[in-house]
Amino acid sequence: MSAPAPHSRIVIDDTYGAAFIGALFTAMLYGLTTLQTYFYFVYYPKDGMEIKSLVSLVWILDTVQTILVSLCMYHYLVTNYANPPALAIGHWSLFVSVAMNVTIAFFVQCFFTVRIFRLSHPKIRWWLSSIIALVVFAHFCFGIETVVFLFIKKELKRLPEITLIAATPFAALAVLSDIFIAAALCVLLHGSRTGFRRTNTLVTTLIIYAINRCLLTSVVAVAEVIVFAVSPESLWFLAIDFVIGKLYANSLLATLNSRNSLRTAAGSTMASVPLSDVGFYEESRGDSATQRGVVINLSQNGSRKTNTTGDTDTFTGSSKRQSGDVGV
């Protein structure tokens, strides 16, 4: 009787040890997501329903992703303890957790794309937003394709087979979409600079926030691709993928929750002003001339709005924007 074929050797440290480390960081970042979600609903109860719904949806998806990661670790490290053949096969919870991350990233990038559309001049908003939306949608499609191939391949040792056809384009488009969003926000915000120091300080801060948000998610996405290309037989790339969705979720929540601190940093005269009052607008005058500039409410009681266009300083009676419409 012939002996059974030996199973390929699995190095636990570089596979499920790495995945376990990623799961620990996932749990920590989930705590941060939950805390930021709580702060959002406490400090911004007057935001529009669409923003509240988005925050709720992102938190729910992030919760499901955390549950799936925990289930995955339990399957491999507890249920199949001392069962090497089972460790070589991908579990459905692992693959679905990747899909949750892809979906979270898609919703967050759509949020920023809509903000770019609203900030842009009417002459460029459609083509600029369409280009970014196309890249974001392509990122989402390649992410779903990657998940489908994960279900098809099943065996973890076959994952390198999808590097060129799915994983690499998926990661490249993730970086590209983040760069496009950050670049568009920076250009639009930079164009809103005026001769008023307080306005310029606020705009500079928003630009820095946009760049930092892009850098964080882009660096992590690049790191995941590099690790996957260099060491596809390990699961260090999965450890990175476990947390990337939470970085997107926290970037959204940090953007929304930073509005109060931005008001404080901009000066006491903006203490009661929604950050949504910072944006581009078009003002039609009696001579049919149209000017483009920044709208900032500088009043103490919110009853006065300052429209800053170059050297022009005019006032209107009330704010027309919703508090949920933030600039970055």
Whether residues 137 and 278 share a domain: the answer is: no
pLDDT for 122-157, tens place per residue? 888 889 899 999 999 999 999 999 999 989 988 888
- 281: three-class secondary structure by DSSP: strand
pLDDT exceeds 80 at position 38: yes
Whether residues 242 and 276 share a domain: the answer is: no
Whether residues 282 and 193 share a domain: the answer is: no
Whether residues 27 and 157 share a domain: the answer is: yes
Last residue of a domain, one of 225, 247, 265: 265
Say what the pTM is. 0.77
Whether residues 295 and 159 share a domain: the answer is: no
Whether residues 293 and 190 share a domain: the answer is: no
- Which range marks the domain in which residue 154 is found? 16-265
Residue of 128, 120, 220, 243 whose CA lies nearest to 174: 220
Number of domains in the chain: 2
Whether residues 279 and 255 share a domain: the answer is: no
Residue of 158, 161, 210 whose CA lies nearest to 181: 210
CB 327 within 8 A of CB 279: yes
pLDDT for 217-262, tens place per residue? 888 888 888 888 788 778 888 889 899 999 999 999 998 998 887 7
Residue of 164, 124, 49, 154 whose CA lies nearest to 282: 124
Last residue of a domain, one of 245, 265, 285: 265
Q: Dihedral of CA 230/234/236/242: which sign?
A: positive
SS3 string, 202-229, reads HHHHHHHHHHHHHHHHHHHHHHHHHHHH
Whether residues 182 and 58 share a domain: the answer is: yes
Q: Give residue 212's pLDDT.
A: 75
Whether residues 232 and 117 share a domain: the answer is: yes
Assigned domain for 100 exists:
yes
Spatial distance between the Cα atoms of 167 and 142, rounded to a whole number of angstroms: 8
Whether residues 136 and 155 share a domain: the answer is: yes
Whether residues 163 and 276 share a domain: the answer is: no
* Cα-based distances in Å from 247 to 46, 62, 177, 225, 265: 25, 10, 15, 16, 25
Q: Give residue 75's pLDDT.
A: 93
Average pLDDT, the chain: 77
Spatial distance between the Cα atoms of 257 and 41, rounded to a whole number of angstroms: 10
pLDDT exceeds 90 at position 29: yes
Assigned domain for 327 exists:
no
Spatial distance between the Cα atoms of 312 and 38, rounded to a whole number of angstroms: 40
Whether residues 249 and 275 share a domain: the answer is: no
Assigned domain for 95 exists:
yes
pLDDT mean over 14-33: 92
Spatial distance between the Cα atoms of 80 and 87, rounded to a whole number of angstroms: 7
Q: Give residue 195's pLDDT.
A: 64
Last residue of a domain, one of 227, 246, 265: 265
Q: Give residue 267's pLDDT.
A: 58
pLDDT for 81-134, tens place per residue? 888 888 888 899 999 999 999 999 999 999 999 988 888 888 888 898 999 999
**Beta partners for 315?**
306
Q: Which two tokens stand for residue 7?
A: 């199973």
Q: With cut-offs at 50, 70 and 90, classify the pLDDT of residue 293.
A: very low
